[in-house]
């Protein structure tokens, strides 16, 4: 077998990774290694600084995520902690906050669409 070229493999360590700002959200970042997938779709790492929140959105396809570290509170009050694995169905609308900050592994089938705040929140 031949060595895998640098154009066919990308390795990043989360301890010193550079996260790109995620859309217009203050205090959030995205690390997506695959250059062949649209930003915010497929597999990526999402990081929220302490006190950050995501924008209200609706999932076009299903989303699955794993909380690596920290805590995330969903708009309906559900609390996700390190070690939790979560599935949200297509059409799910929500936003999340992270009082202490968190790092999440995300798989998003089809990305998301912005929505208005939910239930007046």
Q: What is the pLDDT of residues 96-114, one digit of tens each?
A: 999 999 999 999 998 888 8
Q: Which CATH class is domain 20-109?
A: mainly beta
Helical (H) or strand (E) element with 120: none
pTM of this structure = 0.88
Span 71-99, pLDDT tens digits: 999 999 999 999 999 999 999 999 999 99
Q: What is the pLDDT of residue 118?
A: 53
Indicate whether 119 pLDDT > 80: no
- Return all residues near 113 (Cβ < 8 A) that are at least 6 apart: 57, 58, 60
CA angle 112, 79, 86 (to 5 degrees): 50
Q: What is the pLDDT of residue 120?
A: 45
Closest residue by Cα to residue 74 from 50, 53, 58, 90 = 53
pLDDT attached to residue 16: 94
Token duo for residue 11: 């390795």
For residue 117, is pLDDT > 70?
no
Smallest CA-to-CA distance from 100 within 49, 65, 45 is with 49
Give the chain's end-to-end CA distance (angstroms, integer): 56
For 22-61, the pLDDT digits (tens) are 878 899 999 999 999 999 899 999 999 999 999 999 999 9
Count CB-CB contacts under 10 A for residue 97: 15
Question: Could you tell me the residue ranges of all domains in the chain?
Answer: 20-109
Report pLDDT for 121.
Answer: 46
């Amino acid at each position: 077998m031949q060595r895998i070229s640098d154009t066919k493999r990308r390795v990043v360590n989360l301890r010193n990774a550079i996260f790109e700002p995620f859309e217009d959200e203050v205090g959030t970042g995205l690390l997506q290694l695959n250059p062949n997938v649209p930003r915010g779709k497929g597999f990526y790492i999402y990081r929220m600084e302490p006190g950050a929140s995501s924008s209200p959105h609706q999932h076009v396809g299903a989303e699955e995520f794993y909380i690596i570290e920290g805590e995330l509170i969903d708009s309906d009050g559900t609390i996700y902690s390190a070690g939790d694995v979560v599935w949200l169905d297509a059409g799910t609308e929500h936003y999340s906050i992270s009082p202490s900050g968190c790092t999440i592994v995300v798989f998003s089938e089809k990305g998301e669409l912005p929505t208005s705040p939910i239930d007046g929140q």
